[in-house]
Amino acid sequence: RINDPEIQNRMFRALGLSEETVKQRFGFLVDAFHYGAPPHGGMAYGLDRLVMLMLHLPSIKEVIAFPKVQNASEPMSGSPDIVDKKQLRDLHLLNDAEKEMADK
């Protein structure tokens, strides 16, 4: 996982994202890197679940700092975000039904 802001910026450039797009979509992440992100070990102990059980709470959402809300959005980062057609096409996720109908 990337924890170096310069490497992250190089990745954004490699993906063809403009500075404006990066700022709009990932500004919160870029800003956080300026304060120094710790290296990630890729290991999670599930402390939130343990705390939930220890406190006899009915839902893990009660102990998670920023849980997703009912519609699966996350207000702090603004996710999920709108994905433009170029991104969908690049990831081969664009629905080809429209194209197939136009070809007929």
Ranges of each domain in the chain = 5-35, 73-103
* Rounded Cα–Cα distance for residues 16 and 21 (Å): 10
Residue 104 has what pLDDT?
65
* Rounded Cα–Cα distance for residues 38 and 25 (Å): 22
Residue 33 has what pLDDT?
82
What global pTM score does this model have? 0.40
Residue 103 has what pLDDT?
67
Alpha carbon of 9 to those of 3, 16, 66, 102: distances in Å?
11, 11, 26, 38
CA-based nearest residue to 75, from 84, 85, 64, 67: 67
Q: What is the pLDDT along the chain (104 residues), one digit of tens a residue?
A: 787 888 899 999 999 999 999 999 998 888 888 887 667 666 667 888 889 999 999 988 888 877 777 777 777 777 888 888 888 888 888 776 666 666 66
* Rounded Cα–Cα distance for residues 89 and 99 (Å): 12
